[in-house]
């Protein structure tokens, strides 16, 4: 490469890396804005509820969609301590059915992901959503609100509905079929990740001892495997998410991280051998981010082990 070309590539490299950094920064700000600066919607119901409130109607969405919440701290409420409070017969019925108000601790707060306004309750009811979750600013769709207002006006009847459903605010849980596909695509994703890392390991070995290992591995086939398994990984990852009902903040970061790794992988593939310095830097960042991804996936699935 002559001097002129090198200069040209250096300018192009720094332009590309600068714009990528800017994109990452703006993207992060954009997400942070929706997570942390939660706009308070106009309350749609004139009933202010305190943070220690049980769900009195079939589940209709994030409480702040419709209610104003009074500034109080949640107090733990369950069937064991209910006699310490002045509760109506109906409220006691709800607690006996399995609803409870949990005072969030640091562990719960770390695990509770940000919600969208159309989320339903996937876990046993644990008090007003904003006790633990921050809520994205996006408003719920008109059709969703209309439907959930109708649901909200239907009273929960502990005599008529089974108590396990009441405990979950009547929200749906995963069907066995959904669970089957979630596990299937999750397993496939793990296999694809393993296949995908073979190439990286070969490269590391080759760099250490080229003579010994170049006879052992076919680098070209390894690279083909790397590409195909990356595509298969992205697809099975997406399907695994589509069939999942529960996630957490660690796993949600991986939803950004994996496509990011994939996108950089594509840049590396199609720019191979041109701007060398940026390629090396990107390839290094891929290795670090891949390790971060692995750690996040393990922590995020900790309760599944
Ligand atoms: C889609 C809108 C909507 C959402 C979301 C919603 N509610 Fe309601 N809620 C209502 C409506 C409407 C009423 C009044 C029902 C009536 O009187 O017909 C109500 C009434 C109540 C009442 C009874 C208040 C009283 O004084 O009788 C409680 C308690 C309550 N909601 C708790 C909650 C909790 C807790 C959440 C979140 C888990 C929640 N609601 C989410 C619409 C909603
Ligand atoms: C006491 C704290 C607490 C309260 C209150 C609470 N949650 Fe959660 N929620 C969590 C935690 C913690 C998780 C993470 C998964 C887990 O550990 O079960 C979670 C997970 C979720 C998820 C799964 C997220 C995903 O992307 O898969 C949804 C949806 C959700 N909550 C909705 C709600 C809604 C809606 C309300 C209010 C009606 C609510 N939560 C109230 C603590 C809470």
- For residue range 67-117, what is the model confidence (pLDDT) as tens digits? 889 988 999 999 999 999 999 998 998 898 888 999 999 888 888 887 888
Does 208 fall in a domain?
yes
- For residue 36, the model assigns a pLDDT of 60
Instruction: Note whether 213 and 131 are same-domain residues.
Output: no
Q: Where are the alpha helices (DSSP H) in 37-162?
A: 89-97, 106-111, 142-153
Does 38 fall in a domain?
no
- For residue 75, the model assigns a pLDDT of 93
Instruction: Note whether 179 and 292 are same-domain residues.
Output: yes
Residue nearest to atom 23 of ligand 1 (CA): 56
Domain boundary among 167, 184, 204: 167
Ligand nearest to the CA of 171: 2
Task: List all residues 6 or more positions away from 101 whose beta carbon is below 8 Å from its beta carbon.
Answer: 51, 52, 53, 54, 74, 75, 76, 77, 78, 126, 127, 131
Q: CA-based Rg of the chain, rounded to a whole angstrom?
A: 25
**Nearest atom (ligand 1) to Cα of 169:** 38
Instruction: Note whether 131 and 247 are same-domain residues.
Output: no
Q: How many domains does the chain fold into?
A: 2
- Cα–Cα dist 204/225, whole Å: 16
- For residue 3, the model assigns a pLDDT of 52
Domain boundary among 111, 135, 167: 167
Q: pLDDT under 50 in the chain at which residues?
A: 1
Q: What range defines the domain where residue 221 resides?
A: 175-304
Map residue 153 onto helix, strand or coil: helix
Residue nearest to atom 19 of ligand 1 (CA): 152
Does 210 fall in a domain?
yes
Nearest to 230 by CA among 259, 251, 256: 259
Ligand nearest to the CA of 131: 2
Alpha carbons within 13 angstroms on the beta-carbon side of residue 29 total 6
- For residue 37, the model assigns a pLDDT of 59
- For residue range 171-182, what is the model confidence (pLDDT) as tens digits? 666 778 888 999
Task: List all residues 6 or more positions away from 152 whose beta carbon is below 8 Å from its beta carbon.
Answer: 45, 57, 58, 60, 66
* Ligand 1 center from residue 127 Cα (angstroms): 12
Instruction: Note whether 134 and 232 are same-domain residues.
Output: no
Q: Which residues line ligand 2 (CB under 6 A)?
A: 62-63, 102, 104, 108, 111-113, 115, 119, 121-123, 126-127, 129, 131-133, 245-248
Instruction: Note whether 247 and 291 are same-domain residues.
Output: yes
Q: Are 141 and 61 in contact (CB under 8 A)?
A: no
- Cα–Cα dist 52/202, whole Å: 57
- Cα–Cα dist 300/249, whole Å: 8
- For residue 1, the model assigns a pLDDT of 45
Q: Are 199 and 225 in contact (CB under 8 A)?
A: yes
CA–chain centroid gap for 47, Å, is 32
Instruction: Note whether 152 and 209 are same-domain residues.
Output: no
Residue 117 is classified by DSSP as: T
- For residue 236, the model assigns a pLDDT of 97
> Does any ligand 1 atom lie closer than 6 A to the CB of residue 67?
yes
- Phi/psi for 77 (5° steps) reads -140, 120
**Nearest atom (ligand 2) to Cα of 248:** 14
Instruction: Note whether 155 and 216 are same-domain residues.
Output: no
Instruction: Note whether 290 and 268 are same-domain residues.
Output: yes
Does 23 fall in a domain?
no
Mutate to test the pocket of ligand 2, among 112, 136, 151, 252 (most ligand atoms within 8 A of CB): 112
Ligand nearest to the CA of 247: 2
Domain boundary among 167, 191, 222: 167
The residues facing 101 across adjacent strands are: 77
Instruction: Note whether 130 and 180 are same-domain residues.
Output: no
Does 40 fall in a domain?
no
């Amino acid at each position: 490469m002559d001097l002129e070309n090198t200069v040209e590539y250096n300018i192009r490299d720094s332009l590309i890396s600068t714009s990528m950094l800017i994109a990452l920064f703006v993207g992060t700000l954009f997400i942070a804005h929706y997570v942390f600066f939660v706009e308070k919607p106009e309350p749609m119901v004139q009933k202010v509820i305190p943070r220690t409130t049980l769900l009195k109607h079939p589940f209709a969405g994030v409480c702040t969609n419709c209610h104003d919440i009074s500034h109080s701290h949640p107090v733990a409420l369950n069937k064991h301590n209910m006699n310490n409070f002045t509760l109506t017969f109906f409220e006691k019925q709800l607690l006996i059915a399995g609803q409870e108000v949990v005072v969030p601790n640091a562990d719960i707060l770390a695990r509770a992901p940000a919600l969208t306004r159309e989320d339903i309750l996937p876990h046993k009811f644990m008090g007003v959503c904003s006790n633990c979750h921050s809520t994205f600013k996006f408003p719920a769709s008109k059709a969703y609100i209309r439907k959930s207002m109708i649901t909200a006006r239907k009273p929960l009847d502990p005599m008529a509905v089974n108590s396990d459903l009441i405990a979950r605010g009547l929200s749906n849980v995963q069907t066995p079929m959904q669970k089957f596909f979630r596990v299937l695509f999750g397993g496939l994703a793990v296999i694809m990740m393993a296949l995908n890392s073979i190439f990286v390991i070969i490269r590391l070995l080759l760099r250490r001892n080229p003579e010994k290992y170049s006879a052992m591995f076919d680098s070209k086939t390894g690279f083909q495997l790397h590409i195909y398994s990356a595509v298969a990984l992205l697809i099975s990852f997406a399907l695994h998410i589509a069939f999942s009902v529960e996630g957490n903040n660690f796993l949600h970061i991986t939803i950004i991280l994996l496509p990011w790794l994939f996108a950089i992988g594509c840049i590396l593939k199609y720019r191979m051998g041109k701007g060398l310095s940026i390629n090396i830097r990107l390839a290094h960042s891929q290795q670090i981010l891949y390790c971060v991804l692995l750690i996040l996936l393990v922590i995020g699935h900790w309760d599944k082990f």
